[in-house]
Amino acid sequence: MLPLLDNLMWHALSGAQSRFALGSGAVRRMAPGFSPLIGFEDPERPDLAALTALCEPGERFYCSVWAGPAPAGWRIEAEAQMFSMVWHGPCPTHDEAPEALPLTAAHAQQALDLALLTKPGPFGLRTLELGDYFGCFDKQGRLMAMAGERMQAGNLREISGVCTHPDFQGRGLAKRLMLKLVRRQVQRGEQPVLHVMSANAGARGL
């Protein structure tokens, strides 16, 4: 399991989720419209030259593991440490968020707007297609909180896009949505994982 987790982006984009990817050889990128992620077969020696043909000027991407000076034509805008976290608890005994609704293409703009506001991580207009996403709505139809599934490799299934609108924080919505996803994944025989930035103490605690 750990080799897959150590380079999850590559194993997802070159394997189970290759239909969402562009590229060949030792590099893959998620297609435009999805989360702007890059996977390298060898992330310590990334083939950015091969990636150039798949990109438009000004596009921004996220990758993992690799660190170093940017090659010609590329610029590093941010560098940070990311933690990979794995669920080792028991399967939740019941659905913690039975009121949550599946998010579909009809909710894509609402989901993107919430992600842009709260910044849970890379998110695109088509990200909802990558797995099961659920959202909690208020009586006026506002998306209060959401969580879903992004990368998949082997039996690893990433929980991602976990966020709550500032007007509705403090109600436990994100936690309940995460537990809903954990329960579904464990019941399917999958191993829930997620990624958080090291500086985000609140997300790590959650």
Give the number of other Cβ atoms within 10 Å of residue 126's Cβ: 17
Q: What is the model's pLDDT at position 200?
A: 67
Is the pLDDT higher at 78 or at 168?
A: 168
pLDDT of residue 106: 97
Phi, psi of 107 (to 5 degrees): -100, 5
Q: What is the mean pLDDT of the chain?
A: 92
Alpha-carbon distance of 89 to 180, in angstroms, equals: 14
pLDDT, tens digit, for every residue of 168-204?
999 999 999 999 999 999 999 999 999 887 666 766 6
Which domains can be identified in the chain, with CATH numbers? 2-79 (no CATH), 84-205 (3.40.630.30)
User: Amino acid letter at 132?
Assistant: D
Q: Enumerate residues 6+ apart whose C-beta is below 8 A from 190.
A: 155, 156, 157
Average confidence (pLDDT) over 74-102 = 93
Q: What is the pLDDT of residue 72?
A: 85
Which is more confidently placed, 98 or 69?
A: 98
pLDDT level of residue 68 (50, 70, 90 thresholds): confident
What pLDDT sits at residue 206?
64
Beta-strand runs (E) in the chain: 21-22, 27-30, 38-40, 82-86, 101-102, 133-137, 143-153, 156-164, 191-197
Q: Which of 47-51, 52-56, 82-86, 127-131 is predicted most confidently?
A: 127-131
Instruction: Taking residues 57-83, report their average pLDDT.
Output: 88
**88, pLDDT greater than 80:** yes
Cα radius of gyration (the chain):
17
Averaged over 10-15, what is the pLDDT? 96
